[in-house]
Structure 1
Amino acid sequence: MNRINNFLGFKAFLLLLILPVLVNAQSTESNLQSEVKYPQFKFQGLFQARYMSGFTDGIDATTGLHHSDGKAVENTFDVKRMRLGVTTKLGERFDVVVLANFADFKSDPKGKVLENAFARYTFNKNIGVLVGQFRPAFGIEELNPADILKSFDYSNQYSEFGNNGWTSFQIGASMFGSFNLGKLPVTYAVSAVNGNGKDQVSDKDNGKQYSSRFGFELDKTHNINFGINGGIGEVYNNKVFAVGLDLTADFKLADKLILQTQLEAKQGINHYLYYSLAADARSSNLNEYQMRGAYFLPNLRYEIKYQKLTAIEFSCRYEYFDRNFKIDSNAKQTYTPMAGLEFGKGYTGRIEMGMQFDNYKRNVPNTTVYDNNLFIIQFQGRFF
């Protein structure tokens, strides 16, 4: 019965994807292509390198792993990202996107390197479809690339929900678009993915994960946007779910001074953790393994525009995250104060400096679940 339900659910989703193609089969795109030469190529790239120095003895600066014997690499240089990507426009509404991170070659590249690899067709502003490997829309962070984040990197909850197939790069299909609900602009995305990460040969089982996001533009002047995210699915014949809420708002404090804020909260079943445990070391009830978290990120931006210096920014993200709050709670609180200098337009050049303070409710020796204080300087260069 589960296989039948999975089959019917996935086929219904595929029907939603191909229905616009059938309706628009007689479009005038061929006439447009005769006037404009295709394909057209747009290249983009990102370089991020950092220096990290730990202020806690016995903690690896890169991994956060605790060493009770004191044999840790507490300061190091690191290339975080070296991305190269290309968007190939094959028609007025049809493009193919490829993005690779060559910094992943510094360790075992299996399941890494290739990030985006999808084809996208946009019929109009109301509806479009994409198929391949992409980031499903499931919150604020999924809508922003790493090079324009207001902090050093993505949040803890982004990483854990990515392990569980809701965020980060996944393989599947999605339908997206926008419409007006009365006078209220609304964006939406509905996705179906394998749920076991990027660069995989096939799904881990016959189950799929279905997620959706609706974003409401409450006030364009102050960038007040409210998002609702939800997902259901099946992993090894067990039902899983995830939900999330997010809010953004910008406040102009002076002529060149802007306070940008982000607030996001998520909760869901942590099946990634559950199936990583030995069968005799876990409960028989998957629903007891749940994760939840929230973060608040204020960013004070002063647009100085002095010679090549575009802006000065000060941010401090606070995050609370617990990957198993029901039966083995060990909440992690992270404070990330940061100061940044932006050069050029759209973070073409960027220098960031700050700290990351990780505090656990309970330390576990010789693991990454251990209090850590880290100093970071990060350099960024991008083209687009």
Structure 2
Amino acid sequence: MKCRSHLLVVFLFCSPLLSKAQGISVPVSEKAKINFSGMLQTQFNYSLDDDIDIAGMHHAGDEHFSRNSFSVKRARLQLNATINDRINAVILVNFGDFTGNPQNKVLENAYIKYSINDYVNFQFGQFRPQFGQEDNYPVDFVRSIDYSNQYYLFGSNSWQSFQIGATYFGEIKNTDVPVKYYIGIFNGNNRNQVSDNDDGKIIPARIVVGLGKTTQLGASGGVGKNMGQKIWAYGADVDYKKQLNERWGIELVSEYKQGINSVAFFGQENLVIPVSEYAMRGIYVLPNVAYSIKNARLKSLEFAVRYEYLDSDFKQVGNSRQSYIPMISAAFAEAYAIRVQLGLLMDRYERNIPNTTQYNTNRIICQVQARF
């Protein structure tokens, strides 16, 4: 309890300073230092449909519900401790989870990284496995309002999002074709668990190949066991980024994944169908155009459109979902330190199911974020 109090005191003391810089470093010893940083995301959601609430839930009856609301999406604080030239530890918490059900949430990153050189690195604890392009950047750098629906679906099945385990990774630089590689082993029962719920583990692997200065090709694959059932997943992605001139830049991210939906399988009342008959797949395309502005206040304007197709159970009943998210954003400081985003979220389902979130929706989302 004393440690938590001391950490809170340090954070409150540092807050005025953090507003002037990206993080603050606190020396611990000759070689060790601690860096604090944070991020705050707030939103305003407005449903354009009279029978849809702000969460996308359809209401066929006369019950009261909210069609517009302000909310705190994320309130993160990160501590990065550099122990020496080879070891550092990271803790990331999201206080925004306290606004909902914080069970098995709040703590996001909690890991130790040991680096020998570019080729040999190890990471232990709770962190995001490398299984797609979206694992490479924090949410405050996402070119859309949020991560893709695919990311959250594969995260609930333990392939992405925050998991507990270990990974080995490295990078081959200084070649015409640079390569990054990752392989790990994880409990496979998601974050903030006291221990694994079975002896099964998941083993994800990923390789990323650079083609010139503009293009990266990624491939991911993994196998594992969940409560005695064999599971697997795989995916591929393309990231193209080019600065056209001093002001204009473009980026295109596209990703495809497919795998076993063990969450849907174990959600059955009677497990009579093989787990292999419960499969999920999805693809999204996200082009982004950025325009830099030489202004003391406004730094850049960006326009992005994410199209996504996702089916969480295409071998069974299924109900494919298509999402269209045009979005414009303005950055008022370098590296998105202050960013305002305005987007229109349009979901279209293969068939509407009344009184569920599987219903066509049209929602406006305004998001304001600050990084410090």
TM-score normalised per structure 1: 0.87
Does the CA contact (< 8 Å) of 1:89 and 1:96 recur in 2? yes
Does the CA contact (< 8 Å) of 1:248 and 1:261 recur in 2? yes
Gap runs ≥5 in structure 1: 1-35
Find the counterpart in structure 2 of residue 64 from structure 1.
Answer: 56
1:237-287 deviations in Å (ceiling 9; x for gaps): 1110000100011234443111111000100000011111211xx642111
Identify which of 140, 153, 157 aligns with 2:146.
153
**Residues in 2 aligned to 1:317 and 1:305: alpha-carbon distance in whole angstroms:** 27
Does the CA contact (< 8 Å) of 2:177 and 2:212 recur in 1? no
Find the counterpart in structure 2 of residue 299 from structure 1.
Answer: 288
Identify which of 234, 239, 248 aligns with 2:239.
248
Corresponding position: 1:213 with 2:202:
no
Gap runs ≥5 in structure 2: 1-28
Q: Which residues in structure 2 correspond to 1:280-359 (within 5 Å)?
A: 283-359=272-348
Corresponding position: 1:257 with 2:245:
no
Does the CA contact (< 8 Å) of 1:126 and 1:179 recur in 2? yes
Find the counterpart in structure 2 of residue 367 from structure 1.
Answer: 356
**Residues in 2 aligned to 1:284 and 1:375: alpha-carbon distance in whole angstroms:** 40
**Residues in 2 aligned to 1:182 and 1:114: alpha-carbon distance in whole angstroms:** 38
Structure 1 residue 99: deviation in Å? 0.1
Find the counterpart in structure 1 of residue 116 from structure 2.
Answer: 123
- How many aligned positions are there? 343
**Residues in 2 aligned to 1:344 and 1:58: alpha-carbon distance in whole angstroms:** 39
Of 312-321 and 270-279, deviating more is: 270-279
**Residues in 1 aligned to 2:77 and 2:134: alpha-carbon distance in whole angstroms:** 20
Q: Percent identity?
A: 40
Letter in 2 for 1:64: G
**Residues in 2 aligned to 1:64 and 1:252: alpha-carbon distance in whole angstroms:** 37
**Residues in 1 aligned to 2:50 and 2:194: alpha-carbon distance in whole angstroms:** 41
**Residues in 1 aligned to 2:195 and 2:351: alpha-carbon distance in whole angstroms:** 37
Find the counterpart in structure 2 of residue 186 from structure 1.
Answer: 179
Does the CA contact (< 8 Å) of 1:258 and 1:300 recur in 2? yes
Q: Which residues in structure 2 correspond to 1:16-55 (within 5 Å)?
A: 37-55=30-48
Does the CA contact (< 8 Å) of 1:66 and 1:72 recur in 2? no
Taking a change above 3 Å as real, the CA distance of residues 215 and 264 of structure 1, as seen in their structure-2 partners, is: same
1:206-239 deviations in Å (ceiling 9; x for gaps): 100000110001111x2x0000000000011111
Find the counterpart in structure 2 of residue 106 from structure 1.
Answer: 99
Structure 1 residue 370: deviation in Å? 0.9
**Residues in 2 aligned to 1:72 and 1:270: alpha-carbon distance in whole angstroms:** 32
Does the CA contact (< 8 Å) of 2:200 and 2:227 recur in 1? yes
Give SS of 1:72's match: coil
Of 298-307 and 159-168, deviating more is: 298-307
**Residues in 2 aligned to 1:160 and 1:124: alpha-carbon distance in whole angstroms:** 34
Letter in 1 for 2:221: G
Find the counterpart in structure 1 of residue 14 from structure 2.
Answer: none
Does the CA contact (< 8 Å) of 2:92 and 2:108 recur in 1? yes
**Residues in 2 aligned to 1:181 and 1:275: alpha-carbon distance in whole angstroms:** 47
Identify which of 230, 235, 239 aligns with 2:226.
235
**Residues in 1 aligned to 2:169 and 2:92: alpha-carbon distance in whole angstroms:** 20
Give SS of 2:255's match: strand
1:40-62 deviations in Å (ceiling 9; x for gaps): 0111100000100001122220x
**Residues in 1 aligned to 2:201 and 2:112: alpha-carbon distance in whole angstroms:** 20
Find the counterpart in structure 1 of residue 82 from structure 2.
Answer: 89
Letter in 2 for 1:97: V
Q: Aligned Cα RMSD in Å? A: 1.3
Letter in 1 for 2:367: Q
Structure 1 residue 197: deviation in Å? 1.1
**Residues in 1 aligned to 2:302 and 2:269: alpha-carbon distance in whole angstroms:** 46
Find the counterpart in structure 1 of residue 155 from structure 2.
Answer: 162
Find the counterpart in structure 1 of residue 188 from structure 2.
Answer: 195
Identify which of 258, 264, 267 aligns with 1:267.
258
Structure 1 residue 305: deviation in Å? 2.4
Does the CA contact (< 8 Å) of 2:176 and 2:212 recur in 1? no
Structure 1 residue 181: deviation in Å? 9.9
